[in-house]
Structure 1
């Protein structure tokens, strides 16, 4: 099995979109180039979460063909502005021209049509995952070029409790997450969230979240192995 085969299988399954995690996942730039290509070949939208404070990589993954970028630890309007500027072409932002690979993968007829439309077709999503970010969320949402907010519940719970707890399911944190969704939707922007328990998807959707990541590749692999081994052992023991 080659390194890209699991992603090829996943991209051609029933998922609606794929997020490549360049922050905590084992992705270098070359792996991101190849993996974005796999997703685009399967005609699946692909987002990339870049590492903290890497607007340069945000621009590069868009050049590679990503449909959007998720930037972690955006705590202020200034950070949001720098991120948005890297993702959007002038006059909205400062993204440098050079989408050689994306021009091929997106199958635009010519560079001019690409340039005139791509700002509206790629997403810049700022992660809110600290108390500071929550306190500044109105200013972050007001930044032109920020298309939405992606909530990181685990880090938000750590920050909210001063490092005492990593538990987003508490009533207090759920109320905070609900308030964030209300603020995002009021601005007409995209509300995204990472959900670890599939039973909670309906709850987050009811709050207004529409971009919901609900499983990691490792979780899917572990679940599959667990189910197969249980089925095998149930027939033997």
Structure 2
């Protein structure tokens, strides 16, 4: 069996748009198969704001090896052990929050890429290889080529430094955090504010300059439609609990609208 190739990298190389979603609540690895059955390009496990433990993450990563969908982990912070360990247990890429400076970008690359690109410690993951036998050279080359680094620009400082950040080889995509960015700018939740939209356009421009995929996370379809037209190519839409709540609400409204049969008195 060959080591798994990145579905997202293939699509991006061909100039396409990738669509993914986020898991915050579901704990069963069957959620990976569920998302893959609906043909998402990727799914994100959010450990920045939620409480997935290492065993659960490892089980999700194992399940991802059997489906044509990438699985990424959003780490709580950009610490070596959080980044490298997630890749060792089988994540196919990382979402890296609150990247603000060129120095942070270089630290990310050192932790996630093997030499000569970085300084990640070598360990051939049995989850990644599915217990197959691979040489160290083959494994490290595969990891450097196929594993995704997706950084989050979520502040004015990050926007101001975006060109320097993206000039580092080893960053594949940006996923803008619009909620945090609006908070940082003092326009909390105003996702159509001109200052915020100007920042989005600057990130798109710099991403295109450095051949990095520009992306964003939204939970409103009209925002996605608008920004795909503006050039976003790595688009994360909504998350598990919101999908469930929306489906419950829509169904219950329909159920309560049904008219009962006339009762004979």
Please give the TM-score of this superposition, normalised by the length of structure 2: 0.81
Q: Does 1:24 align with 2:46?
A: no
Structure 1 unpaired stretches of 5+: none
Structure 1's 11 and 75: CA in aligned 2 closer, same or farther, altered over 3 A? same
Deviation at 1:13, TM superposition (A): 2.3
Q: Does 1:222 align with 2:252?
A: no
Q: Does 1:168 align with 2:191?
A: yes
Output the CA distance in 2 between the equivalents of 1:68 and 1:194.
16
User: 1:18–1:47: 8 Å Cα contact kept in structure 2?
Assistant: yes
Q: Aligned match of 1:61 in 86, 93, 106? A: 86
Q: Does 1:50 align with 2:102?
A: no
The structure with the greater share of residues assigned to helix is 1
Output the CA distance in 2 between the equivalents of 1:202 and 1:223.
19
**2:15 maps to which residue?**
none
Matches within 5 A, 1:100-119: 100-105=125-130, 110-119=135-144
Deviation at 1:187, TM superposition (A): 0.9
Please give the TM-score of this superposition, normalised by the length of structure 1: 0.90
Deviation at 1:25, TM superposition (A): 2.2
SS in 2 for 1:19: strand
Matches within 5 A, 1:1-237: 3-105=28-130, 110-161=135-186, 165-236=188-259
Deviation at 1:106, TM superposition (A): 9.6
What is the aligned residue count? 235
Q: Deviations over 1:79-127 (max 9, x none)?
A: 1111111110001001111132344249675443222222011111221
Q: Which has the higher contact order (CA 8 A, sep 6+)?
A: 2
Q: Highest CA radius of gyration, 1 or 2?
A: 2
